[in-house]
C-alpha cells in the first residue's frame, strides 16, 4: 500500500517562498509514475499545481505563472514543491499525490499552509 505524507511550515509570510516535501512509502518513486501536487483553498475546490516524472518530464499549471518548481530526491524517496512570491491567495491545504490511470490514485493527508504577515 502506498502511503504519502506532506511536511513543511504551516505559516509563511507574503512574498516568501513555500517549500513542501512529500515522503512516500510502499513504492519507490524512481520506479515510475508521475508525482503531483494539488491544493485546496479553504472551503473551495481542487486545483492541480503540477506533475513530474523521474525522467524529467514536468507539467505545471499555467495559472501559477512560473512560480512553481517540482523536484525529487530518490535517496529519500521524497519529492518537493517550491512556490515563490506567496500571497494570501496561496493559503490552502496542499496535497501530494500519485498520478496514475489518468487520475490521482494515492493522496497524502494534506498540509495546511497559511500565508499571513
For residues 23 and 49, give the distance between their C-alpha atoms in angstroms, rounded to a whole number: 18
Residue ranges in 81-100 that form contacts with other proteins under rule CB under 8 A:
95, 99
Give the three cell numbers for residue 25.
Answer: 512509502
Shortest distance in whole angstroms from residue 40 CB to other proteins = 9
Q: Is the dihedral of CA 83, 88, 93, 97 positive or negative?
A: negative
DSSP, residue by residue, 28-51:
-GGGS-EEEEEEE-TT--EEEEEE
Residue number, 74 or 109, with CB nearest to other proteins: 109
Residue number, 8 or 47, with CB nearest to other proteins: 47
Shortest distance in whole angstroms from residue 76 CB to other proteins = 22
Binding residues (CB under 8 A) for other proteins: these are: 36, 38, 45-48, 51, 59, 61-63, 95, 99, 101-105, 107-110
Amino acid at each position: 500500500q502506498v502511503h504519502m505524507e506532506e511536511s513543511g511550515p504551516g505559516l509563511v509570510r507574503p512574498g516568501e517562498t513555500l517549500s513542501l516535501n512529500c515522503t512516500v512509502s510502499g513504492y519507490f518513486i524512481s520506479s515510475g509514475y508521475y508525482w503531483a501536487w494539488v491544493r485546496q483553498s479553504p472551503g473551495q475546490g481542487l486545483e492541480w499545481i503540477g506533475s513530474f516524472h523521474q525522467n524529467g518530464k514536468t507539467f505545471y499549471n499555467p495559472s501559477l505563472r512560473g512560480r512553481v518548481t517540482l523536484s525529487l530526491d530518490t535517496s529519500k524517496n521524497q519529492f518537493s514543491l517550491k512556490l515563490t512570491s506567496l500571497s494570501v491567495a496561496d493559503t490552502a491545504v496542499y496535497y501530494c499525490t500519485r498520478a496514475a490511470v489518468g487520475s490521482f490514485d494515492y493522496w497524502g493527508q494534506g498540509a495546511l499552509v497559511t500565508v499571513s504577515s
